[in-house]
Structure 1
Amino acid sequence: MLRQLRLNEPITTLAVRFWPYALRAVALLVLFRCVWAVLAAAARGELAAEVAAHGPEALTVAAVYLAGHVMRVVRLALLIGNARLSLRRLTAFHFYTAGVAFGMPLRLGDAYRGIELGLFTGGTVFGITIVWIERLFDLAVLLPLLLVTLGYASLADHGYALSAYAGITLLTLLFVSLSALMVAIVPDNLRRFGTYLIRQHEGAWTIKALKGIEDLRRTINRIPVLIKGKIPSLVALTVLIWMFEFGSFEVLVSGVAGSGGGLSGLLAFLSRTTTNGNLPDALAKLGSLDAFARMYVVAGQAPLAIIAAAAFFVYASGNGRRNGS
């Protein structure tokens, strides 16, 4: 074991070798916290009470919500475009990282998903790029819906206040701005910046910086290749994903007073969890949530957190095998 660790290696080399394991350990702690919160809420009888209050509708919603995540797996497989990847492990990867994301605010779960996907597919930059594209397509569907919801919210006595959507609105604007910056401005200036570094600076760090600049340029140029010929399918899958997510809960809570409706209710809940909240926090104060948010947590997120824990073992069992096995 000591020979394998090579303790005489520089600390930076050891850090590079073992940081994926440290990152995964942190992610597992986050997932464990989510699962523990679900089990604690179940022990208190809160989950059973919510399911009993809505009867078979809650089970239907859970099934449709999970079907939406299956559509996300199909979209992910289409984006990666590698027939040699194990579909079983890819499915387990999606549910595992989705469960981890439930325990992280500020969309930090997407950052972990991109890094973990890179470890799975063999390239961190590639993994982050794939997740970035996933979110771009999600926003392509969410942005017009968000604008419509904000328009209705500006009217008196309708749904939620405008402030309820502040989190998701700010995140959307930030993501769209960064994406536009990466596509429209950064590529033309990367070579200029590289030339400036060569002329003005010397040293090993300059070489590393130039390599990073080249990797970034290649990544940006690769995006059109990744989605070439796939855009209609990606758009159709993304629309299906959000139809499952919005539609199922709209049916469930349409008759519940004060729910705010499926679309506005879900956007308000996502906005709240984006800026200040996660699944354990929501379960801890389940009784104070509105009817829509309660059923989103109980029928959607809570079952998926349990599935995520099981999915991790399926995903991790393939770490020592080839992806195509």
Structure 2
Amino acid sequence: MSLDIFNPVVSKVAKGLEGKIITIYGSNNLGKTKQATRFKKPYYLGFEKGLNAIAGVPFAAINNWSDFKKVNKQLTHKSTVEKAKEFYQTIIFDEVEASARYCSKFICDKYDSDTIASGRDGFGLWKEYETAYWEEIDKLIGAGFTVVFIAHQTEDKEGKVWPKGDKRALAPIIDNSDIVVHVRSNGTDEKNQVIKSSAFLAETDKFFARSRFDYIQTGLQEFTAEALEEAIIKAIERQEEVEGIKAVSYNEQKETLKSEVLDFEKLKAEIIAAGKLLHSNNKGDVVTEIIENGLGKGKKVTDFTKNHVEMMVGVLDELNDEVKALEEVK
């Protein structure tokens, strides 16, 4: 999709859970994993042993970061993603802190370091770790599944409750979550039977939670997958009613977010054509300057490679501006 501020793409809201990113966090034994597996067509990525008491759920036992990379490739690669979607709609990522430990060990092993902090002669491997984690999470959340991240909780110095985990791992998850759900225990009844947990979808001074949907209810007395899905659907319906918008399918929304596909051979051919036209109008020095600004001193069109397609877009835009200026003079 081409970028044109005078003919802008208009944002759309998608119905249902498809493509939504959800983070669920809280203390242990609150039903986070159990309820997550009740979403439609689940596939469970078990960084922890969260399925020990839950039967009948397709899963991958993730014992190291390489395991996750292998499974994530099957879920997200362009050659397999559509087949994966025929099998699964919801990907459950359980749990964030454990996944970060695996990624950290992967980076330490890669650079033969005992710790992230001591790697690269004491300068640390923080950037390598952050990048490795972000790249895999970005693939997963961009593939179009409903992705449910599960996290434990921690408290800050003031006693406020937050999702637990290293900030470098939490950032790409929380920042991209459409909903962050805090689950809290309701204790037991007079017969010592566990009362089902409640869920909160708005932040308070006691805990963090949030939703991108302005019209969603702020709490669920009984936390279930069905109740959360219903809350999201009703919030979107309410937005349609109040704001006069029309929610679309996830595929329709996805089309508005696509970038133009950058084809190396096509870009190269268009750059050559524009360059020849400018050369024929005594603008060869301008062509050289534009290409060198984009690629480097002394570089020519023949030096462009497939790794340079984004630079080539900029070069082509500048060449086309010069061509347009010539046409206006004529």
Which TM-score bucket, shorter chain as reference? under 0.3
Which of the pair has the greater relative contact order for Cα pairs under 8 Å at 6+ separation?
A: 1
Q: Which has the larger radius of gyration?
A: 2
Higher share of residues assigned strand: 2
- TM-score norm. by structure 2 comes to 0.25
